[in-house]
Amino acid sequence: MVELYILLILMIIGAIIAIEVKDMLSSVIAVGAAGLALSITFLILKAPDVAITQLVVEILALIILIRATLKKDLPFSATGRWFLNTLITVAFVVVFLVIAKRCLDDLPQFGQPLMRVAKIYLKQGLAKTGATNLVGSVILDYRAYDTLGEATILFTAVIGVLSIVRRVGRKKVGTEVKEEDE
Amino acid sequence: MSIYMLCLVLFACGLYCILRKRNIIKIIIGIIIAEYGAHLFFILTAYRMQGRSPIYSVEADIKNMVDPLPHALVLTAIVIGLATTALIIAIAMRIYEKYGTFDITKIKELRG
Amino acid sequence: MSREHEKGMSLIVKTITRLTVGLILLYGIYIVSHGHVSPGGGFAGGVIIALSFIHLMLAYGKEVAFKRLSRTVASFFESLGAIMFLVIAILGFTGGYFFLNFIAKGEPFKLFSAGIIPLCNIAICLKVGAGLFGIFVALVLLKLESGEKK
């Protein structure tokens, strides 16, 4: 399990670089590096479906982020109460980590999951659904309602993006359409 | 337990970025990093020592499979994360077009 | 020939794109159709299919990509995916309940097996691919329009 620690530390370093670097394009590319390391981590943890999906989704998110940030100026403002803001934020994060550490003691040990629900899936999955990929059978047969909700959320997001991007009508030369009314 | 703790440190990096930064693109990057942490935590809880991936094979009888349920949950969560990220980026590009900046303290009408 | 050089990237990128875009689309179809016997499934395959068209759009400009897959066709496919998924779910009422696996299971490890799961994979693939392609086109067009205004 040494490679798991190495990949996680690599991801944390990539995240810190992405947060702290001033150039926007470098920041986006550092996020991409962290995402690819996450994909390899999924592969080591024996989740090939999630690894494939994470890889392709990472590429698409990276393309969209680069299109959004290209040729935009970056106003870097560090004015006013810099020290106080950072202190409060770090204190909040430290409190979060301390509470999470106490909660983690109640979790089962790493490597020995409970699998109270999944025992039934593993035992009867092949006979009941006929699919050899058990993740596919969980997504589309046992828990198809989840997928239905996911499809609804995706549809809503597409409609939201299209309605935000849309311009009302075709602007004529002399008349100004008020942007606030859209 | 320390592997879970490293995963939570990754989540905390994203949380710090969301709370501290003022640039909208940096906030989006923080949201993406926090998503990575959450997804990784789910997959870590599913892992089993010397486990195999949950796919049956023709020639081998696989006994100890990892838990397929968190894999299914994370699989839907990744695609939802991409869709919501695209929605936030669309809103951010509209804000840039209207105000000419990504800095949330310069946008006067968002100040409460 | 000279008309092709007007928009998009350089000649090298266009040649490589012409060679690889079909393979990427074929790989996406393979991932979707074998989603129930091997790793993959509707989500990953749909995103790969969307990425093949995005690849075409990035290399050749938006007119060539719209000739292959226009916006109305993309929105039609997205609605078709959603309706197909719901119809498969409702057809389960013929045997009892919502999302019943009503087709015969077939023999495991074969392509035509597992009842409704391949059909649902195809529906999800259409929905995800067309939806993400629509999101990308909308964001790119917003950028182009705002550039023209200034």
pLDDT in tens, B41-62: 988 888 888 878 888 877 777 7
B109: pLDDT confidence band, cut at 50, 70 and 90? low
pLDDT value of position A94 = 92
Whether pLDDT at A178 is above 50: no
Put simply, whether A27 touches B (Cβ < 8 Å) is yes
pTM attached to this predicted model: 0.86
Name the minimum distance, in Å, from the CA of B90 to any CA of chain C.
7
Put simply, whether C1 touches B (Cβ < 8 Å) is no
Are B93 and C135 a contacting pair at CB < 8 A? no
Print burial letters for B67-91: b (CB count within 10 Å at least 16), e (below 16). Answer: bbbbbbbbbbbbbebbbbbbbbbbe
Are C39 and B82 a contacting pair at CB < 8 A? no
Residues of C in contact with B94 (CB under 8 A): 142
Judge contact between A158 and B80, C-beta under 8 A: no
A180: pLDDT confidence band, cut at 50, 70 and 90? very low
Whether pLDDT at A132 is above 90: no
What CATH code is assigned to B2-53+67-110?
Answer: 1.10.287.3510
Beta-strand (E) ranges in B40-101? Answer: none
> ipTM value of the model?
0.87
| Rounded-to-integer distance, Cα C13 and Cα B49, Å | 45
pLDDT value of position A168 = 62
| Rounded-to-integer distance, Cα B102 and Cα A163, Å | 21
Considering only CB atoms, B5 lies closest to which of A60, A68, A104, namely A104
Mind listing the pLDDT tens digit for each residue in A66-103? 877 776 666 555 566 778 888 898 999 999 999 988 88
Are C105 and A52 a contacting pair at CB < 8 A? no
In this structure, how many other beta carbons lie within 10 angstroms of the beta carbon of residue B3? 15
Name the minimum distance, in Å, from the CA of A61 to any CA of chain B.
7
Mean pLDDT in residue range A157-172:
75
Are C39 and A158 a contacting pair at CB < 8 A? no
User: One-letter amino acid identity for A113?
Assistant: P
Residues of A in contact with C58 (CB under 8 A): 63
Mean pLDDT in residue range B2-21:
88
The domains of chain B are located at 2-53+67-110
Mind listing the pLDDT tens digit for each residue in C120-143? 888 888 888 888 888 888 887 766
* Helix, coil or strand: residue C66: helix
Whether pLDDT at C1 is above 70: no
| List of chains touching C (3+ CB pairs within 8 A) | A, B
Residues of A at the C interface (Cβ-Cβ below 8 Å)?
Answer: 48-49, 51-53, 56-57, 59-60, 63-64, 67-68, 126, 128-133, 135-137, 139-141, 144-145, 147-148, 151, 154-155, 157-158, 161-162, 165, 167
Mind listing the pLDDT tens digit for each residue in C48-99? 988 888 888 888 877 777 777 777 888 888 888 888 888 888 887 777 777 7
